[in-house]
Amino acid sequence: MRIACLQFAPKVGDTSNNITRADAVLSSADPDDLENLDLLVLPEMALSGYNFRSQEHISPHLEPTASGASSQWARTAARKYSCTVAVGYPERAETVGPEPDYYNSLIVVDSNGETLANYSKSFLYYTDATWAREGPGFYGGRLGTLGQTAMGICNPYKFEAPWDAYEFAFHILRVRANLVILSMAWLTHDEATSFLSCPSAPDLSTLTYWVQRLEPVIQAGSSEETIVVFANRSGVEDEATYAGTSTVIGIKDGEVSVYGILGRGVEELLVVDTEKPPFGKIINRPTVPVDGEPGAPPAPAGEPEDEPPKDAGPEPTQACH
C-alpha cells in the first residue's frame, strides 16, 4: 500500500491560506511520489486550524457535513491523485432540533470523490471540548479498496482512564483492522523555541508514546500486518506547539516496523510503500502488562485529563535530543 501523510502548519481560522499551504506541500513533492497513491491523510482540522478558544470563535469556520471547504478539497485531491483522501474538519451537523450539532470530524472520500466515511471524534481534548460534541464511538469497517479499517482522531483515549484500558487498541483488535488511520493535532508542552530548534528531527518520545498506546495490538502477535498511520501537524498556534513526527508503522508478529517518519517541525509530504522493506524497527518494551495478561497489576487510579499516568513510560512531549 502506498500511503502519504501531508504534514504542515495551518493557522487557526485561516482556511483559504491553509488550503494554499497544503497545496504547496503537494506541489513541492516529487511527482513520482504522487503516482499510484492508495491513501492520502491530512491532520485533524487540517484546513481550519485547531486551536479555537470557544464555540463563538470557531462558529464562522464550521462546515456542513461532508460538503464544506475541507470536503471539497478532499474530493479534488482524490480525483487528481486517484486515491482515497482523509481530511479532518470542524463539522456542523443538521439535526431535527432548533440547533445543529458540532463535531470534530474526519471525512474520507474515494478516488472518485464519493464519501466513504464521516467519523466524529469520540473522546474530546479540552480544546475541542469547548465547542464540539462527542461522537458515538470509534470507526471500524471496510473502507473501499483499503480493507478493514479503524479510525481515530488525535488522542483516541481518555487520560482519566487507567493506563492499561487501551480503549482504541482493543477497538482495533475487535474490528480486526488491517489499516489504522489516526488524524492528529498532537501537542508538545515543551517550550516552542527549544522544541523547534531541530525541526527535521522526529520527536521520538512522542512516537514512543503513540506506540505504547497500541500495546495490545503488538502483544496479540498476529501474523497479518496491521498498518498504522499517524498523520500529525506541525507549527505553532498561539500558545499551542504541535509535535509533527508523522509516521507510518507496521505491526506484525509482535514487532513494530517503521516505514517512514517526518521531523517535528517540517512541512512535507511523507510517502511510504508498505510492500517494500521498512527502514527500521522499534524495540518495544511494555511498561505495563496488558490488562488480563498473566501478572498484570490492578488498574491504577485515573490521572487528570491533561496528564498521563505516572507509570506510563516516557512523556510524549520531551524536547529533541
Q: Which residue has the cell 517540517?
A: 266
DSSP symbols for 90-159:
EEEE--SSSS-EEEEEEEEE-TTS-EEEEEE-SS--TTGGGT-PPPSS-EEEE-GGG-EEEEEESS-S-T
- Helix axis angle, 15-28 to 69-81, nearest 10°: 10
Element holding 174 (H helix, E strand):
helix 167-175
Using a 10 angstrom Cβ sphere, with 0-12 exposed, 13-18 middle and 19 or more buried, the burial of residue 201 is middle
**121 catalytic per annotation:** yes
Please identify which of the residues 44, 215, 237, 268 carries the catalytic annotation.
44
Using a 10 angstrom Cβ sphere, with 0-12 exposed, 13-18 middle and 19 or more buried, the burial of residue 132 is buried
Contact by Cβ (8 Å): 89, 45: yes
Q: Can you say whether the dihedral through the CA atoms of 120, 67, 39, 269 is positive or negative?
A: negative
Cell of 79: 480525483
Phi-psi region of 256 (alpha: psi -120 to 50; beta: other; left: phi over 0): beta
Element holding 7 (H helix, E strand):
strand 2-7
**44 catalytic per annotation:** yes
Please identify which of the residues 5, 83, 91, 121 carries the catalytic annotation.
121
Please identify which of the residues 63, 83, 91, 154 carries the catalytic annotation.
154
* Catalytic annotation, residues: 44, 121, 154
